[in-house]
Structure 1
């Protein structure tokens, strides 16, 4: 058994035209007078080589005195006849990843056969769609360059492009399916956080019709409840990335409550060609618009408050603390301290500003023109220290837009819809009246786009804290 792969070697089939066979092998027969003045027909060998994706095989015979030869490539295609000195090229089907064939060559009445294995490789593409531009905490990334919540299962693999982008490749969709297996089930209403979900899902899909499929079927599988949510007959664009955005409530065969597997296959009315390959990228779910602050009680540390980028600064938003309010975010007395957000003097801004200064930030998309209240509790230690000009304080703001770079937000603090500077310094939460700290409520009206952000920082020589941040719709 020989193995033919892209750029791999030579297959030799050796024989003599004038032979006799006995138990000891091939014995040359001495020519008689009929051979005088004639050239003996000799079929000594032939070589093979591969090209392209590993399926194009070329046969080149080495013969003497042979008018023609016939090649059967063993895949059911018609035999090919060529004259002496000519080569014969055949492109095997790329439908299967690896297939065994028997090549037969007949010359001057002798047939030789050899079994080979042809490995059909898929040549990756060099293009990728743009990565999602939204903040990570506003996108649940199932598979993007930002992060991966799932892995390629049956019939799939992750490929890396020279650009550094990663894609999912699914091949042989004639019979196989492409499967993304999630590391955990996604519950639509709680996709981001308890009570904070998504009603949409996005896909980018690429297919070259000559080597892929023209129509796609996507299934979201809920194994827990034995439910398959299907959307079929999706038109792809030949040789281009196609973007799909689906409503989980209305676009699938039934409303999607939860799922843990995504299946890609050719549509019911679709066609497959060659190795039937598609590429998939940017599978994500955008966070639903609304006024809910995620992790407003800081029980999950810095989650959803951290910057993706902060030029000449730190992306960390605050220092985590176990000295938060005794009250939970719903106003219930827990009987003990909860977690909170803390700023030390080295993390403060204002006149203490440095590359270590920290700013907490979270984006919201609200109803344009609607009225809201930003509410939170704060506390500041009253230990001795050199106070900044204007006094030690905790600052809360509602910024009038979203910012990609924390440095830009810090440079535009005046561009806000409302703010508060809290100067009450009575010690940490446990030292204040009822262990509650100071309550702040800042009324504001959402801008015309609805895109706002809440931001917090401290200016203090001693520790300052906030807890239980929420935005309340009026």
Structure 2
């Protein structure tokens, strides 16, 4: 038996005269012009070797040959057709027949009858062939889904097309059986980037394709427990000459029909909520009511996926001001169609987009967990929660200056005043017992305390730049209330007898810095060059020091820094550095 699939095939019947000397030799017939003529017709058996070829179609061609034959009658064995019997009258002629493609597989008996015009009996030969019709390949595919990956669960889809390639979906339904129905199933690759497309053929009559799922798809939990899908999508395509023009789709107990345009991909979306579909056990595809199935009755399907509308992304900001019990909230959400605020005090709520809420003014500092819940246009919710602090002490921040009294004689005190990177000496100053006679709280007991000291070998250049390896800079970053007036206070002293250029330079820098050269080159919020040389703090009955109070306004973020160095050829001292809100 011959098995023939997807191609045009020729069965050649050849004539032969068997030699007496060699029973296996096949030679050409010799016609006699003077003899008595043939006494019978000869007709060898039809070859029975299997033949395979590529290409679409299920056409078989017969080319019989023999001796003493006037004509051949070829019956291709299709019992459902009256056009399958063909007569060949010319020498070495052929007969062809295109077998139907509407059955998945068929076995036929081909009968060739050789006839003589000399009155000899007919000679008959037969062969059985099995025909497996091929599927006409689809040449194009629909565009890939444009929905974000996290909002898609693919049943059959390569993924998202990007720069000529496919990015596979990470979310894929498992346990799907595409060959569950009685239609013929095939999967082909289309185009340069080999997009995969599934094909179903033989969708005649009640023949149906079926995609089954084990376990069944529960719509409410497609994206995780309680995270439901909104729709199912299918892309459908058929060439009417070899396909179907109308498709019936059944899923979740509901049936839908889609009319197809010839050789055009058509997208179908089904709304689970409006159709009341809660579970999908299988998807069946068959010929639609009053639809026409032609030839192979092939349907191409791609991009079968479940998807949801993108959820809203809630976000908000608020004006957090100390001691202010009235808070204005600014919505910054995306894809939101409605808003629901819970202000966290068990009382207040709002549906405004940008509400202002007044908390209870009891003079105490309180923290509330404020929740904004937003919905997308399908009314599905998402939320965000932030902590909002109101009330408490009024006024600007009063910063703590670490070791502003310089009283400790250890590394912790020096470390508090170091800048991370310096072109001078990594130590911020020398430590000295010749500090101010005043304590950090302003009391004066007539005896000196510890302080910071710069000697001539630790001085900066006159422009403030560092002498490599020598110059020492005292630096400390602090954070204040933004755009607020403050007082920068400190005491300095310079030993007498030096040059008139001797000075102690102290400033508040406009920001935080990690490099001493950048700090020197920056524009300070306030700065002072102290040149009074009245000796050590303790000289002349503790009158050697000079107290400086400089007012400045903090910047818009409140990030500033204290920066102190000396330009001197005599010892210079600093003590009791403070920053506090201006009165």
TM-score normalised by length of structure 1: 0.54
Aligned counterparts of 1:119 and 1:95: Cα–Cα separation in 2: 10
Closer/same/farther in 2, CA of residues 374 and 64 from structure 1, 3 Å limit: farther
Distance 1:49 1:159 in 2: 20
**1:373/1:186 Cα in 2 relative to 1: closer, same or farther (>3 Å)?**
farther
SS of residue in 2 equivalent to 1:137? helix
Q: 1:116 aligns with which of 129, 135, 140?
A: 129
- How far is 1:443 from its partner? 6.4
In structure 2, the partner of 1:102 is: 109
Q: Is contact 1:46–1:59 with CA below 8 Å preserved after alignment?
A: no
> What SS does the aligned partner of 2:233 have?
strand
For residues 240 and 54 of structure 1, do their structure 2 counterparts lie closer, same or farther at Cα, with a shift above 3 Å needed?
same
**Which residue does 2:226 correspond to in 1?**
195
- The 2-side partners of 1:10 and 1:121 are apart by 17
Residue 97 of structure 1 deviates from its aligned partner by 2.1
Partner residue in 2 for 1:357 = none
Is 1:278 the equivalent of 2:308? no
Q: Answer yes or no: is the 8 Å Cα contact 1:4–1:119 preserved in 2.
A: yes
8 Å contact from structure 1 (residues 4, 54) kept in 2: no
* Change in CA separation of 1:121 and 1:374 when aligned onto 2, cut-off 3 Å: farther
Helix, strand or coil: the match of 1:62?
coil
The 1:128–1:115 alpha-carbon spacing in structure 2 relative to 1, beyond 3 Å, is same
Partner of 2:280: 259
- Please state if 1:169 is matched with 2:199: yes
Shift of 1:2: 1.8
Aligned partner of 2:139 in structure 1 is 126
Residues 1:66 and 2:69 aligned together? yes
TM superposition shift of 1:102: 0.3
- Per the TM alignment, residue 62 of structure 1 is displaced from its structure 2 partner at its CA by 1.8
Tell me what 2:60 maps to.
Answer: 57
- Secondary structure in structure 1 of the residue aligned to 2:64: strand
The match for 1:81 is 87
Aligned match of 1:433: none
Retained in 2: the 8 A contact 1:71–1:104?
yes
Aligned residue number for residue 395 of structure 1? none
Aligned equivalent of 1:185: 216
In 2, the alpha carbon distance for the partners of 1:160 and 1:441 equals 53
In the alignment, structure 2 segments of 5+ residues that lack a partner are 19-33, 116-121, 160-168, 315-332, 344-353, 355-366, 385-583
Task: Report what 1:43 is aligned to.
Answer: 43
CA offset digits 1:134-165 (Å, max 9, x no partner): 11111222221124423412233433335321
1:230 aligns with 2:263: no
Cα deviation, residue 105, structure 1: 0.5
For the Cα contact (< 8 Å) 1:141–1:284, is it kept in 2?
yes
Q: How does 1:140-159 map to 2 (within 5 A)?
A: 140-146=153-159, 147=169, 148-149=172-173, 150-153=176-179, 154=181, 155=183, 156-159=185-188
The structure 2 residue matched to 1:366, chosen from 336, 349, 354, is: 336
Counterpart contact for 1:218–1:231, Cα < 8 Å: yes
Match status 1:160 vs 2:186: no
Structure having greater relative contact order (Cα 8 Å, sep ≥ 6): 1
C-alpha separation in 2, matches of 1:102 and 1:167: 36
In the alignment, is the contact (CA less than 8 A) between 2:8 and 2:60 conserved in 1? Answer: no
Partner of 1:22: none
Report the Cα offset of residue 14 of structure 1. 7.0
* RMSD after superposition: 4.3
Give aligned pairs, total. 304
CA contact (8 A) 1:50 1:58 kept: no
Q: Find the aligned partners of 2:279 and 2:101 in 1 and give their Cα distance.
A: 37
Alpha-carbon separation, structure 1, partners of 2:198 and 2:57: 22
Larger radius of gyration: 2
Cα separation, 1, equivalents of 2:44 and 2:342? 89
- Structure 2 CA distance, aligned partners of 1:60 and 1:364? 73
Q: 1:366 to 1:105 in 2, by over 3 A?
A: same
The residue that corresponds to 1:268 in the other structure is 289
- Residue 54 of structure 1, CA deviation: 4.7
CA distance in 1, matches of 2:342, 2:155: 31
Shift of 1:69: 1.0
Q: Is the 8 A contact 2:371 2:383 kept in 1?
A: no
Q: CA deviation at 1:11?
A: 4.5
Match of 2:4 in 1: 4
Q: Distance in 1 between matches of 2:187 and 2:341?
A: 45
Does the residue aligned with 2:240 lie in a helix, a strand or coil?
A: coil
Unaligned runs of at least 5 residues, structure 1:
19-33, 222-227, 294-362, 376-416, 418-437, 456-474
Q: 1:182 to 1:91 in 2, by over 3 A?
A: same
- CA offset at residue 199 of structure 1? 3.1
1:218 correspondence with 2:249: yes
Are the structure 2 counterparts of residues 229 and 290 from structure 1 closer, same or farther at C-alpha, using a change threshold of 3 Å? same
Alpha carbons 1:45, 1:62 under 8 Å: kept: no
TM-score for both structures, normalised by structure 2: 0.45
Q: Tell me the CA shift for residue 10 of structure 1.
A: 6.3
2:265 alignment partner, one of 233, 236, 241: 241
Quote how far apart the aligned CAs of 1:220 are. Answer: 0.7
Distance in 2 separating the partners of 1:136 and 1:235: 29
Deviations along 1:264-302, one digit per CA (max 9) or x if unpaired, are 111122121112111111112221454489xxxxxxxxx
The CA deviation string for residues 168-194 of structure 1, in whole angstroms up to 9 with x for no partner, is 211111142111123432222333233
User: Who is 1:352 aligned against?
Assistant: none
Whether the 8 Å CA contact 2:260–2:266 is kept in 1: the answer is yes
SS of corresponding position for 2:220: helix
Q: In structure 2, how many angstroms separate the alpha carbons of the residues matched to 1:132 and 1:184?
A: 25
Secondary structure in 1 matching 2:242: coil
* 1:49 to partner: Cα distance: 8.6
Deviations 1:9-53 (A, max 9, x none): 7656578899xxxxxxxxxxxxxxx96156964434667997742
Distance 1:132 1:74, change over 3 A: same
Measure how far apart 1:90 and its partner are: 0.9
- Distance change >3 Å, CA 107–CA 164, structure 1 → 2: same
**SS of residue paired to 2:65:** strand
**More displaced 10-residue stretch of structure 1: 88-97 or 62-71:** 62-71
Q: Distance in 2 between matches of 1:189 and 1:373?
A: 26
